Structure 1
Amino acid sequence: MNSELLNSVDLASYLNIPIELIIIVIIWTLVWKGLALWKAGRKNQPIWFVVLLVVNTFGILEILYIFVFSKINL
């Protein structure tokens, strides 16, 4: 294993990713995840709530849930 990776505390610079991009992705994910979890909770859908809480898709599953799956009456 690469000892530089083990000794590195700054993962963003190791991966050569701008810290601003990481912050934007984190905010994007948290906003969509929060909205989807709130909607799943309000609609009393515990299975969707757990799936949305555990699976991290950078907002893709959350957006699909909000605009597609939450509108389907099962």
Structure 2
Amino acid sequence: MKAIEIKSKTNKKGHLKLDLGLKEADKNVKVLILMEEELNDENDWLKVVSNNPAFDFLKEEEEDIYSIEDGNEL
């Protein structure tokens, strides 16, 4: 199966139009739509960041240099 990536935007009514001419006619296609998530809520952002393995190093003891009470270095 061949994949083609096309970036597009929805219009004000939420409709999507693909302006793409394909050389192959009368073929069945599958369309996969991936929508970017908007992190409007601070809690959503915090949840995404806290579950991202890229930040796992922050859980290590040597990275814990601030106290919860005052935010100053220990």
Q: Shorter-normalised TM-score: what interval? A: under 0.3
Structure with more of its chain in helix, by fraction? 1
Structure exhibiting the larger radius of gyration computed from Cα positions = 2
TM-score scaled to structure 2, two decimals? 0.22
Larger RCO: 1 or 2 (CA < 8 Å, sep 6+): 1
TM-score scaled to structure 1, two decimals? 0.22
